[in-house]
Amino acid sequence: MTSDQEEIRTLVDNWILWRDAGDWERFRTVWHPAGRVMATWFQGTGDEFIEVSRQGWEKGVSILHSHGGSTIDVAGDRATAQTKMTIAQRAEVDGVVSDVVCTGRFFDFLVKRDGRWSLVLRQPIYERDRIDPVEPGAVVRLDSGLLAEFPSAYRHLAYLQTRIGYRVKKDMPGTTGPRTEALYALGRDWLSGKASEGLKEWS
């Protein structure tokens, strides 16, 4: 692994550690000034994401992340990283405290300025999820109509987030499909220098 790849992997790890610990000032350092994040429940700038995450933290919203392996491509002062991840969220769902676990990948776009890598875009790719009651023997009965409104890759995560008041984006990339292929194409354009640093092509 090159020094650039090591620095990027450290940044990726710091993202989850600082975000999940509520260390907002250090969390801010991973973002490019024009950095953006796309998630089921939020799409906006890094600064906006920090603020809404902080507000949720103070209200007791419980979202945790973990990482697995990474593949990192570097082309000069630009890079992309794909990292296996798990999102775990706990909340009351239709009267039953439940855990949703969603597995997938973080697809990150990064740039190096003044000797430091920072995040320009974080786009999760959602692959599979499930919901389980926290209390053994409890049963959570989901509204099948609402559940069917969301893509299968993050259906239960979207259901939980909708129930607690979030408006969920319904066209996030999954394991395959046009949205995922478009993301891969944007990644290739980013590495070749064709995509603009603001990545306004992606929304």
* Assigned CATH topology for domain 3-189: Nuclear Transport Factor 2; Chain: A, (3.10.450)
Query: Dihedral (C-alpha) 181, 88, 170, 198: value to the nearest 10 degrees?
Result: -60
Helices (H), the chain: 3-20, 24-28, 46-59, 144-147, 155-163, 178-192
Residue 154 near residue 175, CB atoms below 8 Å: no
Over residues 155-175, the pLDDT tens digits come to 999 999 999 999 999 999 999
Q: Could you state, in order of their start, the residue ranges of all structural domains in the chain?
A: 3-189
**Nearby residues of 55 by Cβ (< 8 Å), 6 or more positions away:** none
Strand extents, DSSP E, 49-115:
62-75, 78-93, 96-113
The token pair that represents 91 in the structure block:
């909340």
At 118-140, the pLDDT tens digits run 999 999 999 999 999 999 999 99
pLDDT tens sequence across 35-82: 999 999 999 999 999 999 999 999 988 899 999 999 999 999 999 999
Residues whose CB falls within 8 Å of the CB of residue 90, separated by 6 or more in sequence, listed in order: 62, 97, 98, 99, 100, 134
- Residue that wins the pLDDT comparison between 55 and 199: 55
